[in-house]
Amino acid sequence: MDKGKMEKLNNYHVLFLIQNVMISMNFIRLPHVIHESGRDMWLIPIAMGVIVQLLLIPMLMLCGRFPNETLFSINRKLVGKYLGTFINLLLILYMVISVTSIVDDFIEVIQTIALGRVNKTLLFIPLLLLTLYILSGGIKTVARTCVLAFFMTVWMIYFLNWTFEPAKFTSVIPLFEVGAKPFFHSLFLGFESMLGFELVLFFFPFIINKKESFKYVTGGVWLTVFIYTLVCLACVVYFSEWQIGNIRYPILSILRAVEFSFIERIESLGLSLWIFLILSTISAYLWVAKRGITDLSSGKSQSWQAYLVVMLVTIIFFLPIDRVTRETLYEWNRYFAFSFILILPTFLLITNLFRGGKPS
């Protein structure tokens, strides 16, 4: 591998990294989460795509001004050492809690659907060990995991054709039955499934071809939007509104109906392969957290930093707090993500412009 070189990520790495970090646990229940928007729900991913596209502009402008630095060092440079370090700590915590919530969520789904009797710990340990292994290879291994995850799971889209009965296609005509308020509420609730694109702020310095990166980041985002839209369309055709409102994992329910003579219950297979999507997401988040700790300490990447972030995840995962507190923690984490991706890049960009606009 190209150790020692800073720039490691090819164009297609960027595309799949963005695309796969976005798709994780939230996607499995996305149609259910946005069910308030009724039969217009397939417009929501498109709307979310537009919002993400707008948010990407200040992010990549900021990155373009500091082509060799991650957000952690940009923070320290622009808002001062102490405040910057404080923000960095928050960011590390955000990454770690995000990972915990994804893992927690995944284990819950696995326990509901496939392995009801298996202990949480036994599912948690191999997942995190695998992540640790991916982390040891650096960002390029993370990106390669993303490419692998994409091709291991993308064929499942084929099964959506089970749902597309021509007789029911009139249901997808957008009539705006529900009005603006539920629509925007669903947009807000559903936006968490777009989170992940903000990681570009951290791996931007590792991209080889920085000038064209905007194109590939956009490509990754819209690939995700395309998949989301397709699944939402399938759900609108296949489920009644009551069903979408009540089925927690609509994608798995679609797979449940797939019938072959040689294999039954594809959803167990689908759920097992979902682990690729989880792995790619959590390893990317943890890589960023590790990077943050690198930045806090010596500035040199060392393996104890990876152990430390995994340890943090483990601690939060096994914290003896009840379900409600845990959910609140994850919810606040989400709000933090929303505000962070909305405000921070723009704020830093403006600060930079006021300070003379010159990249330091």
Question: What is the C-alpha separation between 314 and 331, in angstroms, rounded?
Answer: 19
For 300, the 3-state DSSP assignment is coil
> Please, are residues 115 and 268 in contact by the beta-carbon 8 Å criterion?
no
- Residue 265 binds another protein, judged by CB under 8 A: yes
Residues 74-113 that bind another protein (CB under 8 A): 112-113
Q: Choose, by CB under 8 A, the member of 166, 299, 320, 357 that binds another protein.
A: 166
- Give the binding range for another protein (CB under 8 A) out of 116-124, 181-189, 219-227, 324-332: 116-124
- Give the binding range for another protein (CB under 8 A) out of 69-77, 224-232, 249-257, 334-342: 249-257
Question: What is the C-alpha separation between 212 and 17, in angstroms, rounded?
Answer: 15
Residues 173-192 that bind another protein (CB under 8 A): 173, 175-177
Site string for another protein, 288-307 (x = CB under 8 A): ---------------x--x-
- DSSP letter at 71 equals H
Question: What is the C-alpha separation between 349 and 231, in angstroms, rounded?
Answer: 36
**DSSP H stretches of helix in 154-302:** 180-190, 200-203, 213-238, 241-246, 250-256, 266-296
Site string for another protein, 267-286 (x = CB under 8 A): --------------------
Question: What is the C-alpha separation between 338 and 51, in angstroms, rounded?
Answer: 12
Q: How far is the CB of 126 from another protein (least distance, A)?
A: 4
Q: Choose, by CB under 8 A, the member of 12, 144, 182, 241 that binds another protein.
A: 241
- Cβ-based nearer residue to another protein, 305 or 352: 305
- Residue 240 binds another protein, judged by CB under 8 A: yes
Q: Give backbone dihedrals phi and psi of 68, rounded to 5 degrees, phi first.
A: -110, 15
Straight-line distance from the first to the last Cα atom of the chain, in angstroms, rounded to the nearest whole number:
31
Question: What is the C-alpha separation between 1 and 238, in angstroms, rounded?
Answer: 46
Q: Choose, by CB under 8 A, the member of 126, 335, 350, 353 that binds another protein.
A: 126
Question: What is the C-alpha separation between 150 and 3, in angstroms, rounded?
Answer: 25
Tell me the one-letter amino acid at 266.
I
Q: Is 15 exposed, middle or buried (0-12, 13-18, 19+ CB in 10 A)?
A: buried
- Residue 311 binds another protein, judged by CB under 8 A: no
- Residue 260 binds another protein, judged by CB under 8 A: no
Q: Choose, by CB under 8 A, the member of 68, 136, 297, 325 that binds another protein.
A: 136
- Cβ-based nearer residue to another protein, 112 or 272: 112
Q: Which residues bind another protein (CB under 8 A)?
A: 112-113, 117-119, 122, 125-126, 129-130, 132-133, 136, 166-168, 170-171, 173, 175-177, 238-243, 253, 256-257, 259, 264-265, 303, 306
